Structure 1
Amino acid sequence: MPLNLDLNIDVKSLGKVAVLMGGSSAEREVSLTMSGPGVLKALQAQGVDAVAFDPSERELGELKALGVARCFIALHGRGGEDGTVQGALELLGIPYTGSGVMASAIAMDKVMTKKVWLADGLPTPRWVTLRPHEQQPERVRLVPDELGLPLFVKPPHEGSSMGASKVSGYSQMQEAVELAARFDSAVLCEEFIEGLELTCPLLGEGETAQALPVIQIEAPEGKYDYQNKYFTDVTQYHVGRLSEAQEQEIRALALAAYRSLGCRGWGRADLMLRKSDGRAFLLEMNTSPGMTSHSLVPISAKAAGISYEQLCLWLIAQARLDSSKA
């Protein structure tokens, strides 16, 4: 599936760019030390007048005083990926990268995302939501009867596997729920799909959106957690391992999921390909994916012939407001 991206961008037309990094979420470290600096360096190397800006240390209103024309959102997690900073930039009238307010807010909530996908007939693993009053042992111990074992327990509003656990036995349930509850008031318990762990980046908007090559993630003992995502080199990423038919199927499903949520700019759909029958299931949509040396979108883009620098430049060129015409 060839990509159709216009990479001929007039750098001077972009104006001054602020790369938003850091923030106050649990993923601040990754944004501040990896994604943000990587994007900033890539843009500056191509002649973009780009500066770093940490919203947790400065008021967003300062962007106007700095003469910022558009923002590259390299924030992850709550406060950066959930529609809040997008809403602030809408009020300031400063175009930004990635999805708008509504799509960002929905995609940040894994439970709401699942509900939207189900309404559109898209496959996602079965789940149980445990609200604060449902996290007592007598309720928690019933979840494996509903979803089977093993299963995953995670906070529905966090990324990078923060607070997530794979539960293999009834005795592990309460501890897993308590861990997830440290990050969120509600807890998401999700059916475990045994098979290949896949991810598919998306670029663009609406009917013109395009899917990048699918990546198969191979983590040690299947443990693709926070440490193995960002701080080790043991996780392997494979492009081109699927059959042509599987590749096309996964890309089409990822695009449908992206469009269903109303995403734009870029995103990354995480999926599982079930071993028993080859059926794909959508796990979540990331609307502000990582941009580190380990990150999946740059790996996929490279496989499609797009360099990290070209990707960053293309993304900032797509920056816009909800109120502007697509």
Structure 2
Amino acid sequence: MGKRTLCIICGGQSAEHEVSLQSARNVIAAVDRSCFLPVLVGIGKNGDWHLYEPDSFLRNADDPETICLTEPGPAVALTSKAGEALLVHQDRGAAPIAVDVAFPVLHGTFGEDGAIQGLLKMAHLPYVGCDLPSSANCMDKDIAKSLLDANGIRVARAHVLARDSLAAWSPAAVVADLGLPLFVKPARLGSSVGISKVESLSELEPAVTEAFLFDTKVLVEEGISGREIEVAVLGNRSPEASVPGEVIPKDAFYSYAAKYVDEDGAILVAPAQLGGELTERVREEAIRGFRALGCAGMARVDFFVTETGDIILNELNTIPGFTRISMYPRLWQLTDLTYPQLVERLIDLALERYAEETSLLTDYQPDG
């Protein structure tokens, strides 16, 4: 059997564009070139799709603040013909590129919200990670909380604010109900973009205003005093959980800068020192959360663990970071998978799920 063509997609129109480029660099480095031929699609901040050389697609690759795509190659679009996914050049004289499987490394908007997943599915292209519904459910913190709570999984209490109903909300009433401190979050962003920690009533309204710069729906969430624990989950029907890791932020919370810019912004302890019984409980809750939201392929599940041993699920990230300091690949390396083995396993899971999905009927012929 010849090499499969693996399309890695990165960049995108998201506040997490630069993070995506860092992640893609590491995924490409881990691809087994004896099994896969990598093809790289970079999506610019303007939304244009272009081909790039997988081994030379970045400028300022070692600076997370100024990292960017190089000069773009040919413009391409994704389509399908006779059930085969194709990257079609806008220059009609160039032959289309047949693609066997995709690895979307798009964080945040258009990457983790189900948008790219829907496009890939319509192009009949197997892809790494969660499907459209589970991606959308995990991306929306309001919906995710509701589904987790319905499945008996503890989450932090929160008030949900919509931009078109702000006239009716009372900052004082929110503080009276949830107490202080509070965390204000855009409902559908990741990597701590737009998040503020609020420690007084006077800080709440400005924090909400800032969050609304990034989303039309905002969560005001109670502050949880506890250790920040992360678990990597991998699998489809029978998901597995990694050893837990712990994030100890240097500042008030685990900010965007601490995650991706400042290597000293947080201490990452892996494996987390939780003790055997609590470690197993956290791993079990990670798998429960993964299943409750219908996830497949991969997710990083983030928790708070209190001094009394209570486990509160914070969020699930369906395309976790694959940067040099990211927890997801690190936890699997500590469990039993090298970086290349992890990438290969994710691709295998994508193909496995696609085979199951394509076995389903897509039309209906009524009897008679």
Structure-2-length-normalised TM-score: 0.81
CA 80–13 in structure 1, closer or farther in 2 if over 3 Å, else same = farther
Residues 125 and 281 in structure 1, CA contact (< 8 A), matched pair in contact too: yes
Q: Which has the larger radius of gyration?
A: 2
CA 317–13 in structure 1, closer or farther in 2 if over 3 Å, else same = farther
Structure 2 counterpart SS, 1:60: strand
- Decide which of 14, 21, 28 is 1:25's aligned counterpart: 14
Deviation for aligned residue 1:314: 1.4
1:212 corresponding residue in structure 2: 242
Deviation string, structure 1 residues 138-190 (Cα, Å, up to 9, x no partner): 62332111111001000010000000011000010011001100000111011
Write the mapping of 1:132-147 to structure 2, written as runs, cut at 5 A.
132-136=163-167, 139-147=170-178
Equivalent AA in structure 1 for residue 280 of structure 2: Q
Write the mapping of 1:253-268 to structure 2, written as runs, cut at 5 A.
253-268=285-300
State how many pairs are aligned: 312
- Decide which of 227, 237, 261 is 2:257's aligned counterpart: 227
1:5 corresponding residue in structure 2: none
Structure 2 counterpart SS, 1:146: helix
Write the mapping of 1:1-326 to structure 2, written as runs, cut at 5 A.
15-32=4-21, 34-43=22-31, 45=33, 47-55=35-43, 56-58=47-49, 59-61=77-79, 63=87, 65-136=96-167, 139-206=170-237, 208-234=238-264, 235-240=266-271, 241-275=273-307, 277-320=308-351, 321=354, 323-324=357-358
Gaps of 5+ in 2: 50-76, 80-85, 89-95, 361-368
Structure 2 counterpart SS, 1:54: strand
Deviation for aligned residue 1:13: 6.2
Identity of matched residues, %? 33
Gaps of 5+ in 1: 1-11
Deviation for aligned residue 1:299: 1.1
1:4 corresponding residue in structure 2: none
CA RMSD of aligned residues (A): 1.8
Structure with the largest fraction of strand? 2
Distance 1:269 1:279 in 2: 16
Deviation for aligned residue 1:211: 0.2
Deviation for aligned residue 1:45: 5.0
Deviation for aligned residue 1:48: 1.9
Equivalent AA in structure 2 for residue 149 of structure 1: L
Distance 1:238 1:284 in 2: 19
Deviation for aligned residue 1:54: 2.2
Distance 1:137 1:163 in 2: 22
Equivalent AA in structure 2 for residue 227 of structure 1: A
Deviation for aligned residue 1:318: 1.6
Structure 2 counterpart SS, 1:317: helix
Equivalent AA in structure 1 for residue 257 of structure 2: Q
Deviation string, structure 1 residues 184-233 (Cα, Å, up to 9, x no partner): 01110111110100111100023x11001101101103421000000112
Distance 2:292 2:242 in 1: 18
Residues 4 and 35 in structure 2, CA contact (< 8 A), matched pair in contact too: no
Equivalent AA in structure 1 for residue 259 of structure 2: K
